[in-house]
């Protein structure tokens, strides 16, 4: 293990400059803060690194609310040119958010403010492009097709934001933006859906369900590409994969789950449990708890939304079974994973997977 004395010796020998040594030390402290208290094989996860980040996030939210209030006050007296005004306000706001990102993300490397600024930039981009297209083409607000172009442009803007700042959370926003825009595009071809269920059900025969599955699988493939490039989870690429897995699994599971729950088939509960078993197998092999957790949380959310707990019938037993399954799997995750990796004929794929850990079992 390299310590401070080794770094000082490297500087004295000319192997490292003082600036490189300082950057290396800062990186080591940053990683230690996220990982040193973790159990072996656990996934590192951070929403913020200290209360100062929460302090700054609250400040950014309050500043944003005040900014919107002041802008609304001035625009209120210029309603005859409101579209042009909103366009320039959106451009200026995006610039302000970008400047804050340069300081808090690239200079201070803060986690929580990075996520908040990503959401702010995405909202401003969607709002700005929407108003710009409305001004240029005089698009009717009730026309769903008019939302496709702003959605694509806003998603592209967030992608540029990610290319500049490499915020892992931004990739999840990009995936969700593509997902929402694709659903809007399908809606304009298949007719406006009457309910949320019509959007996702495979049995309806529209393209919505298949788009959901396709985008989920593509997002999962991109997440696996990030994971395979960093199997030991020591770089930011692992965080990119974490957020993409968190988005991919609900995209994949929602179509099948809603179709099964709405079919009223006798074996729906069993089929969902088997499906969750398949998700669990994949999650354990790739060592991503986030992939399985998001899928189960989504299924439970769908059940409790469509069927109240007091009227859910045997769906209550399904939720109970999923809870027991999740707790037991979490308690023996490392042991189960080590056993699976020994049994499965993975071949050369093992080099792209995190190693099995059995310490402390």
Residue-wise pLDDT tens digits, 5-45:
777 777 777 787 877 777 777 666 555 544 445 555 566 66
pLDDT category of residue 194 using cuts at 50, 70 and 90: low
Residue 75 lies in a domain: yes
Distance CA 152, CA 146 (A): 11
**Total domain count, the chain:** 1
pLDDT category of residue 233 using cuts at 50, 70 and 90: confident
pLDDT category of residue 251 using cuts at 50, 70 and 90: confident
Kindly state the average pLDDT of the residues 282-292.
92
> From residue 283, how far is each of 52, 204, 220 by CA, in Å?
34, 30, 11
113-122, 145-154, 209-218, 300-309: least confident range: 300-309
In the block, residue with structure tokens 């990739």: 171
Distance CA 164, CA 176 (A): 19
Instruction: Say if residue 309's pLDDT is above 90.
Output: no
Domain of residue 128, residue span = 48-169
Instruction: Say if residue 162's pLDDT is above 90.
Output: yes
Residue 156 lies in a domain: yes
If one compares 154 and 303, the residue with the highest pLDDT of the two is: 154
| Side-chain-facing half-sphere of 248: CA atoms under 13 Å | 25
| Residues 39-76: tens digit of each pLDDT | 555 666 677 777 889 999 999 999 999 988 888 777 76
If one compares 205 and 288, the residue with the highest pLDDT of the two is: 288
Residue 36 lies in a domain: no
- Residue 69: the pLDDT is 84
Distance CA 280, CA 321 (A): 14
Residue 100 lies in a domain: yes
Residue 286 lies in a domain: no
pLDDT, averaged across the chain: 78
- Residue 17: the pLDDT is 81
Residue 105 lies in a domain: yes
CB–CB of 152/189 below 8 Å? no
- Residue 282: the pLDDT is 93
pLDDT category of residue 164 using cuts at 50, 70 and 90: very high
DSSP label at residue 201: -
Burial degree of 27 (CB within 10 A; 0-12, 13-18, 19+): exposed
Give the DSSP per-residue string, 124-157: HHHHHHHHHHHHHH---TT-GGGGHHHHHHHHHH
Instruction: Say if residue 254's pLDDT is above 80.
Output: no
- Residue 361: the pLDDT is 45
Distance CA 176, CA 163 (A): 17
CB–CB of 290/246 below 8 Å? yes
SS3 292: helix
Residue 149 lies in a domain: yes
The tokens for 245 are 């897995």
Distance CA 116, CA 56 (A): 10
Kindly state the average pLDDT of the residues 256-271.
69
Instruction: Say if residue 139's pLDDT is above 70.
Output: no
Q: Which residues contact 96 (CB under 8 A, 6 or more apart)?
A: 67
- Residue 265: the pLDDT is 60
Residue 297 burial (CB count, 10 A): 15
Residue 221 lies in a domain: no
Instruction: Say if residue 213's pLDDT is above 60.
Output: yes
Distance CA 271, CA 257 (A): 9
The tokens for 310 are 């007091």
Alpha helices in the chain (DSSP H): 4-12, 18-35, 51-75, 82-101, 112-137, 148-165, 168-190, 196-200, 208-229, 236-263, 268-286, 289-306, 315-331, 333-343
């Amino acid at each position: 293990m390299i310590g401070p004395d080794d770094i000082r010796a490297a500087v004295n020998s000319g192997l490292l400059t003082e600036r490189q040594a300082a950057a290396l030390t800062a990186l080591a402290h940053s990683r230690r803060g996220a990982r040193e208290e973790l159990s072996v094989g656990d996934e590192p996860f951070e929403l913020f690194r200290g209360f100062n980040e929460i302090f700054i996030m609250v400040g950014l939210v309050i500043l944003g609310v005040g900014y919107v209030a002041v802008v609304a006050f001035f625009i209120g007296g210029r309603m005859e040119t409101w579209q042009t005004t909103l366009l320039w306000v959106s451009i200026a706001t995006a610039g302000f958010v970008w400047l804050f990102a340069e300081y808090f993300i690239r200079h201070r490397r803060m986690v929580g403010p990075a996520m908040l600024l990503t959401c702010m930039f995405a909202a401003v981009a969607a709002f700005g492009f929407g108003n710009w297209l409305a001004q240029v083409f005089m698009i009717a607000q009730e026309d769903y097709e008019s939302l496709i172009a702003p959605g694509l442009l806003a998603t592209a803007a967030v992608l540029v934001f990610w290319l500049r700042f490499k915020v892992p959370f931004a990739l999840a926003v990009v995936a969700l933006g593509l997902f929402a825009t694709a659903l809007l595009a399908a809606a304009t071809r298949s007719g406006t859906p009457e309910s949320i269920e019509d959007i996702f059900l495979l049995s309806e025969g529209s393209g919505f369900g298949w788009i959901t599955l396709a985008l989920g699988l593509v997002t999962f493939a991109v997440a696996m590409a990030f994971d395979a490039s960093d199997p030991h989870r020591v770089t930011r690429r692992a965080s990119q994969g974490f957020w993409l897995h968190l988005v991919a699994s609900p995209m994949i599971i929602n179509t099948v789950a809603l179709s099964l729950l709405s079919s009223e088939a006798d074996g729906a509960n069993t089929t969902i449990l088997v499906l969750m078993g398949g998700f669990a197998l994949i999650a354990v092999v790739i060592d991503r708890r986030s992939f399985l957790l998001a899928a189960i949380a989504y299924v439970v959310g769908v059940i409790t939304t469509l069927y109240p707990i007091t009227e859910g019938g045997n769906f209550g037993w399904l939720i109970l079974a999923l809870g027991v399954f999740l707790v037991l799997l979490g308690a023996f995750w490392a042991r189960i994973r080590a056993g699976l990796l020994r049994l499965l004929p993975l071949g050369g794929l093992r080099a792209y997977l995190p190693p099995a850990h059995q310490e402390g079992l």
